[in-house]
Amino acid sequence: MTRPLDQQLAAFHLPPSEHEALLQCFPEDPDPVGEACWEAVRAVLTPEHPFELHQLLFDAAYEHRTPELGPAPAWSPRAEQLAEGNLGEALATQSWAELHAASVQSPVSWWSQVLEELKITFATEPTSILDLAEGTTKARWLPGARLNIAESCFARRDSNGIALIWAEEDGVLQTMSLAELRRRANEVAWALQAGGLLPGDAIAACMPMTPESVAIYLGIVLAGGIVVSIADSFAPEEIATRIRISKARAIFTQDVIRRGGRDLPLYSRVVEADAPKAIVLPAGDQVTEDLREGDVSWDVFLAQGGTEEHFDPCVVPAETTTNILFSSGTTGEPKAIPWTHITPIKAAADGWAHHDIRPGDVVAWPTNLGWMMGPWLIYAALLRGATIALYCGVPTGAGFCRFVQSSGVTMLGLVPSIARAWRANDATESLDWSRIRCFSSTGEASNAEDYLWLMSRVPGYRPVVEYCGGTEIGGGYICGSTSQPQAPATFSTKAMGVDFLLLDEEANEVSLGELALVPPLLGSSNRLLNRDHESVYFSGMPVGPQGQALRRHGDQMEHLPGGYYRAHGRVDDTMNLGGIKVSSAEIERVCNEVDGVRETAAIASAPSGGGPSRLVIYAVLDVDSTARSEPQQESLLRSCQMRIRGGLNPLFKVHNLVVVDALPRTASGKVMRRVLRARYIQDSLHS
């Protein structure tokens, strides 16, 4: 410390009793571990204290902690918290490491327990939990089972319980019981059937996350349809691509999106994408757009289904497709990943085991049906008898934070950029978030200081459960948990039921390397609609040290001292921008259309202090281009930004554009983006 702690505390002008109480947390002999000291400190601090004080005392508590102990935890569960958790009974007789090992080594026992905890309802029980007759890479889960996973969201539950709680930007809370949600989902199912849409038909959803979209999602599944997930932020070209790949026969959408007092076009983008028959919901009282011939408004659509309330769900084999989601590869076209009726079990299992979601909880996660966290939220909450909390507005402002308080959220998920916005705007000031038991974070790399701030927003702190996985595995492969100490911006465990290795380029196990999953994995994909699944995930993969087949995933991960892990982004040419995975090729395709540009290379660069990746464009100009001065390069950057906004996604922001004479290439002519990433980092250090 640069000054004695009491002098540093004096700068905060604390009441004498608090000043003395904080000093008493620090023993005369330095605490080499720091955890006991920090536990005493966080019992005194409150969200009303300046965050600078929180940061000062966190650093002071762990000042003498040595690197071999690993990252410093900002939250650790108390004995009573462990006992009350979903895994409390199991952890009373074994350690977390032993429990995880058992979940991998004895998958039949683990997943049998999960099925019971989630109250999964089968029309025909599976003949077994796992069939490995064709090997681990072609494992069959729940063979012989017939079910409709949406039915499990309602059966064996409290029909009078609150399924949804939501608010518009005016902050007025509204609720919907589970029985009412079932009735509305049944209405959708009847109307689909009356409209000639059959089981197995693909039906797209491109709209905000609203109570209606939850009913639409569940109604499609109950009717035996396949939900095609399309983000409402996509440009027409990207909407059209997903409709083409999925062969969607209809699409649910909204006339406009109301955010921050503005009406943003949505239906018009769907029309421009030449979408099939659209069912158009109003953002307000009625649809404000003139509809194409053949398109129908929401009320007209529902009316065609009649007044029958009961609907018998379409029961199918467990491996039947229920949802098509998309994840970018490196060839420019997104991978189309089918979710089956089994995949949601993996999502909900993570919510149960790692996020400690319990019956009666309120779960909020700003998301969209276009991304896996939309379906994840539906299943992780409803399959545990919890309430889904939806805020129909901008999640980065104080309005959302007030909604978290008023709706009584107990598990709050987010992407790191949201936490950064809350912190920058002091959006949580004077709010009571004491009902929150844990936060969770996914989608992009997080920043340790931002997440220490987030943890400190609740008296006594709350953990941030870091969560990383993929659409193609239905959930996480690496997580935090509410049953282990949590250090900001790190993972504390492999996901339950999941094993992986970290490999270098020679396939040796290392502490920092490319992550390879070890099948079998319940919920993971076994086919793709527009790729060869074997080639994408297994071709060219080495054999594990114990002879295991390995599945490619593409993330780079580091195993830290103390058992923690830290993410280092993608090892291939896929980047993560604002929680959305996108290939370099997709970015480059639209930037190459800018006048004066011969070719581009897109990379993602992490800030030096950690946090979400930033998009950087390297551009080679036409021979006769004069755009080499700084103002002209700024103009090029704006042109690339406009192309990306109109042709790809308006949420992607170009952080920097660098003009170069040529792009580095391999002998076979492939652009070496890794070289550009390393060059950009080096240049940034010297700028």
Residue 103 has pLDDT above 60, yes or no: yes
pLDDT score for 447: 87
Torsion 451-454-456-460 (CA) sign? negative
- Taking each helix axis from N to C end, the angle separating 51-61 and 35-42, rounded to the nearest 10 degrees, works out to 160
| CATH topology identical between 151-555 and 573-685 | no
Helix (H, G, I), strand (E, B) or coil at 470: strand
> Which residue carries 């608090």 as its tokens?
18
Written as six digits, the tokens of 124 are 């025909």
- Residue 2 has a pLDDT of 42
As a whole number of angstroms, the distance between CA 346 and CA 592 comes to 40
Give the model confidence (pLDDT) of 406-427 as tens digits: 999 999 999 888 998 999 999 9
Longest CA–CA span in the chain (Å) reads 79
Residues 578, 614: Cα–Cα separation, whole Å: 9
Cβ pair 8, 59 in contact under 8 A:
no
C-beta of residue 594 within 8 angstroms of C-beta of residue 585: no
User: Domains of the chain: which residue ranges?
Assistant: 5-65, 87-147, 151-555, 573-685
Write out 162-190 in H/E/C secondary structure: EEEEEEECCCCEEEEEHHHHHHHHHHHHH
DSSP string of 182-218?
A: HHHHHHHHHHHHHTT--TT-EEEEES-S-HHHHHHHH
pLDDT band, very low/low/confident/very high, at 670 (cuts 50, 70, 90): low
Number of H helices and E strands in the chain, helices first, is 22, 31
Q: Which of 57-66, 107-116, 437-446 has the lowest mean pLDDT?
A: 437-446
pLDDT at residue 687, rounded to an integer:
65
Please state, in angstroms and rounded to a whole number, the distance separating the CA atoms of residues 295 and 92: 58
Cis peptide preceding 542, ω within 30 of 0: no
Instruction: Identify residue 359 by its one-letter amino acid code.
Output: P
**Confidence bin at 251 (pLDDT 50/70/90):** very high
pLDDT at 1: 41
Identify the CA nearest to 467 among candidates 459, 479, 483, 457.
479
pLDDT > 70? residue 602: yes
The continuous run of DSSP H or E covering 52 comes out as: helix 51-61
- Compute φ and ψ for 500, nearest 5 degrees: -155, 165
C-alpha 410/C-alpha 162 separation (Å) is 14
Q: What is the pLDDT of residue 650?
A: 86
Q: At 259, is the secondary structure helix, strand, or coil? A: strand
Q: Which of 155-159, 203-207, 395-399, 662-666 has the lowest mean pLDDT?
A: 662-666
Task: Count CB neighbours of 160 within 10 A.
Answer: 9
Instruction: Please give the pLDDT value at position 668.
Output: 45
What are the angstrom distances between the C-alpha of 285 and each of 268, 282, 289, 297, 298? Answer: 18, 6, 12, 12, 11
**How high does pLDDT run on average in the chain?**
93
- Evaluate whether 644 touches 684 at the Cβ level (below 8 Å): no
Which range is least confidently modeled, 184-193, 315-324, 431-440, 589-598?
589-598
Closest CA to 353 of 88, 670, 607: 88
**Distances in Å between the alpha carbon of 336 and those of 228, 321, 325, 566?**
10, 12, 6, 28
Mean pLDDT of 82-88: 97
224 vs 555, more confident: 224
Residue 68's pLDDT is: 95
- Percent pLDDT > 90 in the chain is 80
- What's the token pair of residue 429? 């000031």
Regarding predicted confidence, which is higher, 571 or 639?
A: 639
* pLDDT one-digit tens code per residue, 162-172: 999 999 999 99
Residues 6+ apart with CB under 8 A from 130: 107, 108, 111, 139, 140, 141, 520
What class is the 151-555 domain? alpha beta
Q: What is the pLDDT of residue 681?
A: 82
Smallest Cα–Cα separation from 185: which of 143, 155, 150? 150
- Report pLDDT for 306: 86
Q: Is residue 626's pLDDT more than 60?
A: no
The band of 609, judged by pLDDT with boundaries at 50, 70 and 90, is low
Would the pLDDT of 234 be above 60?
yes
Burial pattern 537-548, b for ≥16 Cβ within 10 A else e, equals bbeebeebeeeb
Q: Can you say whether the dihedral through the CA atoms of 34, 38, 39, 41 is positive or negative?
A: positive
Q: In a 10 Å sphere around its CB, with 0-12 CB exposed, 13-18 middle and 19+ buried, how is residue 180 labelled?
A: middle
- Residue 455 DSSP SS3: helix
Q: If DSSP codes are grouped into helix, strand and coil, which group holds residue 253?
A: strand
Q: Please state, in angstroms and rounded to a whole number, the distance separating the CA atoms of residues 79 and 91.
A: 11
The stretch 137-141 carries a mean pLDDT of: 97
- Burial (0-12, 13-18, 19+ Cβ within 10 Å), 343: buried
* Mean of pLDDT values over 674-683: 83
Q: At what angle do helices 373-382 and 211-222 cross, to 10 degrees?
A: 80
Average pLDDT (68-92) is 97
What is the number of alpha carbons within 13 Å of residue 11 lying toward its C-beta? 9
Q: Among candidates 319, 356, 371, 679, which has minimal Cα distance to 526?
A: 319
Cα distance between residue 313 and residue 379, in whole Å = 17
3-state secondary structure at position 108: helix
What pLDDT is recorded for position 664?
86
Least confident of 42-56, 217-231, 612-626, 636-650: 612-626
Residues 488-546 have pLDDT tens digits of: 999 999 999 999 999 988 899 999 899 999 999 999 999 999 999 999 999 999 999 99
Distance CA 653, CA 605 (A): 13
Radius of gyration of the chain (CA): 25
Write the pLDDT tens digit of every residue in 266-310.
Answer: 999 999 999 999 999 999 999 988 999 999 999 999 999 988 889
Rounded Cα distance, 493 and 565, in Å: 8
Please say if the pLDDT value at position 577 is more than 90: no
- Percent of the chain scoring above 70 in pLDDT: 96
Render 483-495 in DSSP notation, one character per residue. Answer: TS-B-TT-B-EEP
Q: What is the pLDDT of residue 605?
A: 86
Mean pLDDT of 359-367: 97
pLDDT tens, residue by residue, 13-67:
999 999 999 999 999 888 999 999 999 999 999 999 999 999 999 999 999 999 9
* CB-based contact 318:342 (threshold 8 Å): yes
Hey, is 421 helix, strand or coil?
helix
pLDDT band for position 625 (50/70/90)?
Answer: low
Structure tokens at 307: 């007044």
Q: What is the mean pLDDT of residues 444-470?
A: 94
CATH number of 573-685: 3.30.300.30
Q: What is d(CA 486, CA 75) in angstroms, rounded to the nearest whole number?
A: 5
